[in-house]
Amino acid sequence: MNASPPTPGSEPGPRPASGADTGAGSGARPGPRVTVVVLTHNHVRQVVDTVARLTALPEHPHVIVADNGSSDSTVSLLASLFPQVRIVQSLGDHGMAGFNRAFALATTDYVACCDDSTWFAPGALAQAARLLDDHPNVAVLNARVVGNDEREIHPACLMLNATSPGGEGLPGPSLAGYMAGACIIRTSVFRALGGYEERLSHGGAEELAAFDVLSAGHAIVYCEAALAHREPLCRWFTRAQHCTHARNSAWVAWMRLPLRDALAATGHALAVFARQRSLGPASFALLRGAIWTLRRRRVAPAHVVQLTRQVRRAERHVRAGIPAMAEKYDQSGQRAW
């Protein structure tokens, strides 16, 4: 399949070698099964290191870098160092929606998503492809993310695993959400969803996508075998980011959850606004999106709502029972991935 021409505001960089297919054998050596998309913005050192590791993987995946309008030397340096890597350059920072343009260029059945500080371990993508082949009802595999020491698991992964209601008949614990910067997704499912919602691209886009994936009858699974490494970073949320995430989460609740859950999410958002001393401006921003949100209201099926409630109750119990983990989880900024 030929890549579509670039949309206005994006400039593709060097194309990967032609002849790759979706893995179907036809006598010739099969091409990569997975495309890796790396999302970056003004992190030239991290993204160069990450792309170097990804291009050295034994699976030889296609690699696409989705650049969110970097003003440093990211694009020029990547183009010179990795001519086989395709670069999709945006004129501005589209946040999570930056993945959308790259997905449009993927020619494989599966796409692995990561940010510029995360990379997959050798063999992880091949194992993920095999699991997705064997379980057609699974749409998303959430990777197990570790630091330099594989025993140091990312706190968001610990939370996902600890709050899973189980995974009967699945290749791992079932989830109600996933880490957008450390996952492997069926390309067809992502395209059917229409990609990430741009208005939620700086928080909440993957939450809405998870609702729609589950509502369509697919499963989201935590996969221990899909190992990814993450460079330790200390990224503290600003006051505005806290408010944006709470506001967007409330918007998602109004779009996909019953009234009681939507009201609870709104109350939580107002409490966050008050703690961040931004009650007036943030509440106005929340209200300003009300019409846009209600026009997109489509309540998820009962089993998805029940799963969401079950997971959120478990999250409260985990955070209350393990304060140190809860504090680290809150500081990790995992929703910003």
Do 264 and 282 reside in the same domain of the chain? yes
In angstroms, rounded to a whole number, what is the distance separating the alpha carbons of residues 145 and 37?
A: 16
Is 129 exposed, middle or buried, given 0-12, 13-18 or 19+ CB atoms closer than 10 A? Answer: buried
Q: Which two tokens stand for residue 108?
A: 């494989």
pLDDT in tens, 275-286: 999 999 999 999
Do 18 and 66 reside in the same domain of the chain? yes
Per cent of the chain over pLDDT 70 is 85
Q: Which two tokens stand for residue 180?
A: 């957008």
Q: What pLDDT does 151 receive?
A: 78
Do 221 and 137 reside in the same domain of the chain? yes
Q: What pLDDT does 19 receive?
A: 36
| Amino acid letter, residue 263 | L
Do 224 and 258 reside in the same domain of the chain? no
Do 53 and 81 reside in the same domain of the chain? yes
**Structural domain range at position 281:** 239-332
Q: Give 234's pLDDT tier (boundaries 50, 70, 90).
A: low
Residue 337 lies in a domain: no
Do 132 and 99 reside in the same domain of the chain? yes
With 80 as the cut, is the pLDDT of residue 326 above it?
no
In angstroms, rounded to a whole number, what is the distance separating the alpha carbons of residues 329 and 332?
A: 5
Do 202 and 282 reside in the same domain of the chain? no
CA-wise closest residue to 269 among 286, 255, 288, 294? 286
For the chain, how many structural domains are there in total? 2
Of 199, 230, 261, the last residue of a domain is 230
pLDDT in tens, 205-221: 999 999 999 999 999 99
Q: What average pLDDT does this structure show over 10-21?
A: 40
Q: What pLDDT does 18 receive?
A: 36
Q: What average pLDDT does this structure show over 96-120?
A: 96
Of 175, 198, 230, the last residue of a domain is 230
What is the DSSP code (8-state) at residue 317?
A: H
Of 213, 230, 247, the last residue of a domain is 230
Do 165 and 313 reside in the same domain of the chain? no
Do 223 and 256 reside in the same domain of the chain? no
